[in-house]
Structure formats: structure tokens, C-alpha cells
């Protein structure tokens, strides 16, 4: 019997399309089955082995522990009368290990949180803290004076103050005649 791929509805409801000789080729009806995953389970058991499962687990761990991945920093961005303020909790990172850059209308924050002790994975009860490289870029809602920006860190909270550019003032220029 040729294996026919089941539709989403058939998988969801636990039914199976049955073709019969009594019906024309275009007609079919759906009949419920006891185990909706029967085919999938049988196929998984036949095609799996302990070595194959171990290789899949190692590949998943490598994807999760990939050194190229970066965590995304959480931030608050708000405005005062004169400034755009960006705040972020960056516990465990020294100020000299942070890179804050302002390019045109975007602010980028990069750094690395290093775990100072090596703990075997089996010894963890919970592992929720992020260790490794992190970054965050945010597009600024208004023009700022990048050369007057200030960044400070106190109690693990990074605060970046970006003075707003005053675009409301009209600048008069003199017209010269030749």
C-alpha cells in the first residue's frame, strides 16, 4: 500500500482518508482511528537508534551553546524635556567591557557577561541567567547631539543620556550677492 501523507485536519482530528472501490476516484470519506500518531510513532521507532538519538541531542546542544549567538539586552527608552534616556540592567559587566556607539539615528550597546566559575551542566538545578555576548540596537525617535551624549553605570544599571537636537529653532543665514 502506498503511503499517503495525511492532511492537517486528519492529524488534528485523528481521522484517516480511506479510498474505496465503491466510490468514484474523486470521492473519499474520513474514518476515525484509535491512535492518531500510529504511523508517526512506528516510523520513529523503526528509524531511530540510541546512537542517532545521541547525535541529535549533541547537535541541539551545539546550537544552544553556539558561541556566535548573542543575547538581546532589555532596555527602557524614554524622554525628558531635554534628553532621550536609555536604561538597561547590565549586572556582572564592568563598564570598560561595554561598547556604546551612536551612528546617525541608532544607538548600539554591546558587551559580554562572563561566568567566572565553570559548573558542569548536570550540577544545575536551574540555569536562567544569560552568559556570553549580548547586544541591542535601538533607533532613536528624534535627532540627538551624539557628541554630547553621556553614559554611566551605577548598581548594575547602565544609563545613557542623549541630548535632543533643537530642531525647532529657525536658523537664519545671510544671502550674499555676486
CA distances from residue 13 to 3, 4, 72, 94 in whole angstroms, order as listed: 19, 17, 39, 55
End-to-end CA distance of the chain: 93
Res. 157 pLDDT band, cuts 50 70 90: very high
Whether residues 26 and 78 fall in one domain: no
Residues 78 and 156 placed together within one structural domain of the fold: yes
Domain limits for position 102: 71-163
94-150 pLDDT, tens digit per residue, is 888 899 999 878 999 999 988 888 888 888 898 888 888 999 999 998 999 999 999
User: How far, in Å, CA of 56 to CA of 65, rounded?
Assistant: 14
- 90 and 137 both lie in a single domain: yes
User: 83 and 29 share a domain?
Assistant: no
Q: Considering the domain boundaries, does residue 175 fall inside one?
A: no
Give the closest residue to 110 by CA, choosing from 67, 65, 73.
73
Question: Is-contact 44 52, C-beta < 8 A?
Answer: no
Q: Are residues 84 and 143 in the same domain?
A: yes
> Residue 168: inside a domain, yes or no?
no
CA distances from 175 to 28, 81, 118, 172, 178 (A): 84, 34, 69, 10, 10
23: in domain: yes
- Assess if residue 1 is contained within a domain: no
Are 154 and 83 contained in the same domain? yes
Q: Tell whether 38 is covered by a domain.
A: yes
Residues 121 and 40 reside in one and the same domain? no
- CB contact at 8 A, 134 and 111: yes
Lowest mean pLDDT among 70-79, 85-94, 168-177: 168-177
> In which band, very low, low, confident or very high, does the pLDDT at 55 lie, cut at 50, 70 and 90?
very low
| HSE (side-chain half, CA atoms, 13 Å) at 124 | 9
State whether 16 and 87 are in the same domain. no
CATH code of the domain containing 98:
2.60.40.790
Separation between Cα atoms, residue 168 and residue 170, nearest integer Å: 6
The structural domain count of the chain equals: 2
Amino acid at each position: 500500500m502506498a503511503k499517503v501523507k495525511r492532511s492537517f485536519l486528519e492529524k488534528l482530528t485523528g481521522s484517516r482518508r480511506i479510498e474505496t472501490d465503491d466510490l468514484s476516484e474523486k470521492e473519499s470519506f474520513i474514518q476515525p482511528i484509535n491512535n492518531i500518531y500510529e504511523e508517526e510513532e512506528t516510523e520513529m521507532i523503526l528509524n531511530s537508534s540510541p546512537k542517532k538519538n545521541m547525535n541529535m541531542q549533541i547537535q541541539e546542544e551545539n546550537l544552544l551553546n553556539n558561541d556566535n549567538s548573542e543575547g538581546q539586552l532589555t532596555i527602557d527608552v524614554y524622554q525628558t524635556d531635554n534628553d532621550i534616556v536609555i536604561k538597561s540592567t547590565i549586572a556582572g559587566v564592568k563598564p570598560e567591557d561595554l561598547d556604546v556607539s551612536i551612528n546617525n539615528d541608532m544607538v548600539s550597546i554591546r558587551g559580554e557577561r562572563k561566568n567566572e566559575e565553570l559548573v558542569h551542566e548536570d550540577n544545575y538545578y536551574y540555569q536562567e541567567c544569560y552568559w556570553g555576548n549580548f547586544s541591542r540596537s535601538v533607533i532613536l525617535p528624534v535627532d540627538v547631539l551624539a557628541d554630547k551624549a553621556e553614559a554611566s553605570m551605577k548598581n548594575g544599571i547602565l544609563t545613557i543620556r542623549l541630548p535632543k537636537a533643537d530642531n525647532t529653532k529657525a536658523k537664519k543665514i545671510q544671502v550674499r550677492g555676486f
